[in-house]
Structures are given as C-alpha cells and as structure tokens.
Chain A
Amino acid sequence: MRVLIIEDDQALGRALAKQLDNAGYKVDTAEDGREGLYYATEYPVDLVIVDLGLPTMTGLELIQAVRQQGHDYPILVLTARDRWQDKVEALKIGADDYVVKPFHVEEVLARVDALLRRSGGWAQSQLVCGAIALDTRTQQVTVHEQPVDLTSFEYRLLEYLMLHAGEVISKTQLTETLYDQDFERDSNVIEVFVGRLRRKLDPQGELKPIETLRGRGYRFALARSTPRPLKIGTA
C-alpha cells in the first residue's frame, strides 16, 4: 500500500513516515502543497495524509484539486485546528477522516487501516473470502480457521489482493504498491511471491484463491463473505 504524507514540518513528516514504514506501508513524502499535489496526482497512491496548514497551497485547496481531478482514494487530514468548523469544512470538501494534532501514532495507523479497508469496500477489519480470513488489525491470516504463517511481504501482497477482491490487479500495480519507486519493474519477483502465497494458503490446490489472467494480472477469486457496502469517497 502506498501512502503519501504531505506535511510541512519535516520532523513530524519523517516520524510519521517511519512509523508507517514499520507498519508495512510504502511511504512517499511531500513538504508543501504544490509538491504534494504533484505526487498525489502523478504517482500511484492508495491513501493521502495531508496537513491542512501547508505552504504554497493549503491542505483544503489540495484536497479540492485532487477530488476535482477525479481521484477517489481516501484522504486523512492532520490538523492543528480542532474546531468543528475546520473539520466539517475539510470533510465536506472531500476528506474522509481527520486526526487532530498532537496525535498518537497508533491512532493514525488505525485510521489509515480503516480508510484503506473501506476504500476496498470492506466495512470490518476482518476481511473474509470463503475459507480465507485476514484481520487487518492483528495482521493474522487463517485458512479454515487455522492460522497461516506469512512473511510481511506475503501478508501485504495478500492484503492488497483481498482488499480488492474481485478486481483485476496488474503486475505493475502490485509492484508500485509493494515496492519503493526505484525498484526494477521488469523483475518476476511478484510471480515468485504469488506462487509462494498460493502454496501457503492452498497446499492441496482445492481453493484456488488467486487467479492469473494472462497478460492482465491477478485477481483474488474467492467471493467476499460480507456484503460490500457502498464505496466511499466523493463522486
């Protein structure tokens, strides 16, 4: 998952980036509004964390511009202004949630997690597709209620596929999401990891959770077990 942090305070931006990185996200950072808007619109992004008090372009203007260009990924607002007037304004313009400074890092992580789940159309932190269940909070994966031991890369790969269960995910998309930008894109590492994941989840080859669509990418093929609520984000 790629998270873009737009925060003008370098110390705070770095600290937050580090925590998100530890939690397994790929993080990009920008320090002012214009740079942030460039990253937010030109690079692959799954979620944006934006401070409202930014130089060159305020957070509100940035959110508005992002939404006007049709991007519907979740936006989490960081704000020092904790008046409802500011919160309502930000949410109205297209933000999905807010965290008031000074925040607890766990709070931000929980919100990011929840927003990503929701943007994939999942209402609960438990993603259940048939026999396979993934808990985004505990990062536990079970098959037929038996825990499965995954590496952090395998977990992130599965989480991404399950969040977008039913959708076709291209190899490029997976590479961009799971690796830093300077990663060698032609590598067949993704294929290797998908293969490993299949063996771990489905050693007998009965479930066939991950479909390969030649030339197009992968799709998590098991149906979601919980009803899919309406997609959030502004139209």
Chain B
Amino acid sequence: MVRVRSLRSRVLLWVSVALVAIFAATIIGLDLTFRRTTDRALRELLDVQLYGLVATAQPDPESGLVLSDDLTDPRFSVPGSGLFGALWDDAGRLVWRSWSSLDQELNFGSLPPPGERRAVRLRPADMPPLEAALLGVTWEFEDGRVRDYTFGVAQSLLPYEEQQRGFRWNLVGWFASMTALMLVVVGLLLGWTLRPLRRLEHEVRAVEQGSRERLGTGYPSELTGLARNLDVLIETERRRQSRYRNTLDDLAHSLKTPMAVIRSQLAELPLAAERRQPLTEQLDRVDERVSYHLKRARASGASGLGLVPVSVAAIALDLKDSLDKVYRDKAVTCELEVPDAATFRGDRGDLLEVLGNLLDNAYKFADSRVRLTAQRGAKLVLIVEDDGPGLSKQHARAVTARGARIDESVPGQGIGLAVVREIVELYEGALHLEASAWGGLRARVVLP
C-alpha cells in the first residue's frame, strides 16, 4: 500500500475512491432499472401489436385466416422499420408475413401451443437482436371449423439499445462531473479545516527557529489542548534549562570559593619555592578543568525548543563597553562592524561566551586595534581580528582540531579558545584561526 503522507491527499484519495464506488453502483443500478423498464414497455408494446394483428385477422373461406395489408401500425408495411409480423397455421407453415420483413427470413423457433403467449429473444446472424412475442390461438370459423394459428410480432432492439447507451453515457457524464465538483468542494473544505493545523505547524517551527517565544491562541477546540500542551512543554524545557544552569552556578560557587581559600592560604604558607610550585600548578590545573567542564556543561547548544533570535549587535556593544572598562589602561580601539540584521539562532549566553572569549583574547593580545565583523547570510559569520603577535599555526591547530582536549590546548591562551570551539561545535559550526591583515590573530566563527 502506498504511504500517503499528507492528510489532505489522504482524505482526497479516499473520498474519490468512495465517490467512484458509490457512483459506479448507482450507475449500474440505474442502468438495470432502466433496462427492466424498457423491457416491460417493449413487451407491452409487442402485446398491443400482437392483439392488433389478431384483431385485423379476417377469416377467408378459401384459405382460412387472412391478414389485410391495412394494418394497425404502418411500420409493418415499411421494410427495415424494425417491426415485423407473421402468422403460422396449425401445421407450422408461414401463411403471412408483414411487408417489413420482405427481405429477411426470421426464425422464431418453436411455436407455442394454442392459448399460450411466449416471449422470445431473436438473435439473427445478419441483423441486430429482436424481441419477439408469439401467441397461439384457436380460431373458430363461422362454418364451425376450428383451426389453430400462431401470431408473431418482433421488434428490433436497435433503437432501444441506442437509447440505453445514450442513457448510460449521460449518467456517466453527470456523475463524473459531480465527482469532480465534489472533490473540488472537499479539497477547499479540507484546506479551510486544516488551516489551524498548518498554522500550528508554522508556529512550532517559528518557536523552534526562535522567531517567536510561544504558540499563539485562538485555535479550534480540537487543537487547543495540543497547543496548550506544546506551550507547557516549551515552558518546562525552558524552566528545566534555567534550573540546570542555576545548579551549575551553585556548583561553580561551591567549588571555586574553597579553591580561592586554598590558593590564598597557600600563598601565606612559609614554603620554599620548589615545594610551593607543584602545589600551585596542580591547583591551577584543577581550576582550569573545573572551569572548562562547567562552561561546557553550561553551553546549551542548539537545543531546539525555546530559543529566541539574539541580536549580535546588542551583545557586541555590551561586550565592547565591558572590555573597554576592563582594559582601560590599554589604549585599544575596538571597531564593530555588525549590521542590525545579524542575528544568532541560539542561546544568548552561548553567543556572549563565544564573542566574549574571542574579544577578550583580542584585547589582551592586541597592540592597539581590535575589530569585530559580523555577516548574516545563510550562515552567521563572526570575525574577530587584532594586531597582536598572532597565534602560530601549530598552536592554532592544537586549539581548533576536532576532538582536541583541553590539556593539549595552548598554555597562555587559557581555556577561552577551547571553550569557543566547544560551543561552536555544539551548534555544528566551525572555528577557524587565521592570520589577520594587521599581522595578529583572525578568529573566524561560522554558525548556522
């Protein structure tokens, strides 16, 4: 069985199958009824003709019964009219036949006994079938003689069959146009009925892509439940995410404060440098790992539901203000070339993290210039450049290689670039580290 994916084509398919079946049955039924009616009418007509023949029969003293040529129906006298008459005597000899059958020999088969009426369907080889009626009579002459005769009439079925065919084609034509009309009506009705479903689909996609926050209202009663449940689901997902984040924040706080205490206590211990060194180193490593994993866990990635499109320009401006404040002693000019149309489809915090780390690195290593460029095509391209010393190819590779571990990333670059790479990969994007035109690092991020 063919799988029909759309509800609309499914309904249309089954409606047309049902319509064809119903109309076919109706056509067959009507056709049968029509045929039965015409058959009965024909039989009655033949009876009338038969009794007409009997009525016009005249006894002739010499040759028994004679039929005058002046018959009730003129068609008997016209050859090829399709109406035939015949008379047989008791020996089965044909004593008369109508002018209309001059050129044809009709075989009526066996003759009925007197007093019996018989209907026969004649199928001569060289002409269309005929309906025939035979009537056996016993004729009492005036002189008291009694003789058996058989009257016969036959009517060609040709006109009736034509009529039937015409009727059948008419029926088929009418029903075909009715089917077409009904399919059009059903199609329109479906379009109208399914419009809320299409709207729901559209809105769910909008929520998914982040162009709206929740589903609208005003759905028909059959869909309100579904729409409400979807909204609840989206809301639950958002809440679950925020609870998850709060937990991570608490975890960060409860891990890092004791580490800060240890570090400050360590600084005060009267230890020789070679004893202190390994301790601080280990502490730094633990700190780096904890930070890295917490940040990784915190990045939400393209989780699908509940994302709002984020303006890159607003975030870039916030970050520039923040970094200008932090790097106040360093005379760095930061240019932002971010069109308002540049939006990020994802979590605001993730974008802040990506741009924050890249810009922070740029401010840190820049001599005097930093530039952020954003372009939004099918993908979002973010480029952060500085005029600092740049990153060697080897180091760049170590940071950006897929699956590279934090331990292998460049010392001094901190975990910033590794975190950026992780987040970008969550969104199935890419981080490229290249040389900038100013000689420094040019970090290019491509996001969907």
Contact = CB atoms under 8 A, between A and B. Distances in A.
Interface of A: 9, 11-12, 15-16, 18-19, 51, 53, 78, 80-85, 87-88, 91-92, 96-98, 100-105, 114, 118, 123-124, 232
A126 to B, nearest CB: 12
Contacts of A15: 261, 264-265, 268
B321 interface: yes
B295 A82 contact: yes
A127 to B, nearest CB: 14
A85 B352 contact: yes
A102 B326 contact: no
Contacts of B356: 84, 87-88
B303 to A, nearest CB: 17
Nearest to B286: A102
A92 B318 contact: yes
A78 B259 CA distance: 13
Contact of A118 (B267, B322, B328): B328
Interface in B242-285: 249, 252-265, 267-268, 283
Interface residues of B, number: 38
Closest 4 CB pairs of A and B: A84-B356, A102-B259, A15-B264, A102-B260
Given A88-B322, A88-B356, A80 B255 contact: yes
A232 B249 CA distance: 30
Contacts of A124: 329
Interface string B337-367: 0000000000011001101110010000000
A110 to B, nearest CB: 11
Contacts of B357: 84
Contacts of B291: 82, 100
A19 B263 CA distance: 12
Contact of B283 (A102, A114, A232): A102
B298 interface: yes
B242 to A, nearest CB: 12
Nearest to B263: A102
A101 B291 CA distance: 10
Contacts of B265: 11, 15
B319 interface: yes
B346 to A, nearest CB: 13
B140 interface: no
A96 B262 CA distance: 26
Contacts of B253: 53, 80-81
A85 B259 contact: no
Interface string B303-324: 0000000000000001101100
A121 B57 CA distance: 144
A91 B353 contact: no
B295 A91 contact: no
B255 to A, nearest CB: 7
B352 A84 contact: yes
Q: Specify the main secondary structure of chain A where it touches its partner.
A: mixed
B321 A91 contact: yes
Given A80-B252, A82-B291, A101 B259 contact: yes
A98 B329 CA distance: 15
Given A81-B252, A84-B352, A97-B325, A12 B264 contact: yes
Given A80-B252, A84-B356, A102-B257, 16 more contacts: A9-B260, A11-B265, A15-B268, A18-B268, A53-B249, A80-B249, A80-B256, A83-B352, A85-B348, A85-B353, A88-B356, A97-B326, A101-B257, A101-B259, A124-B329, A232-B325
Contacts of B161: none
Nearest to A10: B261
A123 B329 contact: yes
Given A16-B264, A91-B321, A97-B326, A102 B295 contact: no
B407 interface: no
A103 B260 CA distance: 6
B329 A9 contact: no
B287 interface: yes
A176 B260 CA distance: 30
Contacts of A118: 328-329
B318 to A, nearest CB: 5
B167 to A, nearest CB: 81
Contacts of B257: 9, 12, 51, 80, 101-102
Interface string B406-426: 000000000000000000000
17 contacts: A9-B258, A12-B257, A15-B261, A19-B268, A80-B257, A83-B353, A85-B349, A85-B353, A87-B322, A88-B319, A97-B326, A100-B256, A101-B259, A102-B259, A104-B267, A118-B329, A123-B328
A199 to B, nearest CB: 34
A132 B262 CA distance: 40
B349 A83 contact: yes
Given A82-B295, A84-B356, A85-B352, A11 B329 contact: no
Contacts of B352: 83-85, 88
Contacts of B259: 101-102
B353 A96 contact: no
B267 A19 contact: yes
B329 to A, nearest CB: 6
B287 A102 contact: yes
Contact of B256 (A11, A84, A87, A102): A102
A146 B407 CA distance: 48
Most-contacted residue by chain A among B257, B262, B267, B287 (CB, 10 A): B257
A92 B321 contact: yes
Interface string B217-261: 000000000000000000000000000000001001111111111
